[in-house]
Amino acid sequence: MRDQVMPGLQAALAQAQEMQQKLMEAQAALAAAEVHGQAGGGLVQVTMKGSGEVVGIRIDPKVVNPDDVETLQDLIVGALADSARQFTILAQTHLGPLAGQAPGIPGA
């Protein structure tokens, strides 16, 4: 009986190790990736690393108006939110297939 259990256990462990390796590779790819968000038809653009670090903001001079700072603030918030959405899509693309391989994980 023990001999019958061990091969199944070994196969499950090997599968778990393979999935862990794939997950680590996907996480590394996400951390190295950059996503771009925008608002106002591209008047404000944000570049964000997969780690969540904002590495760049480009603001078109047309939206810089000292008498209307609120609009610029709204555009920056919108561009940051768009970057976060883009990251979520990227993460689902990289990690989604792994969820389908794991028993007991939603989406499997």
Whole-model pTM: value is 0.69
Reported as a single tens digit per residue, the pLDDT across 42-78 is: 999 999 998 889 999 999 999 999 999 999 999 999 9
Architecture of domain 2-99: 2-Layer Sandwich (3.30)
Compute CA distances 60 → 39, 40, 54, 72, 75, whole Å. Answer: 11, 10, 18, 10, 11
Closest by alpha carbon to 55, among 80, 73, 25, 74? 80
Q: Where are the alpha helices (DSSP H) in 1-108?
A: 2-32, 69-99
- CA–CA dist 80, 67 (Å, integer): 23
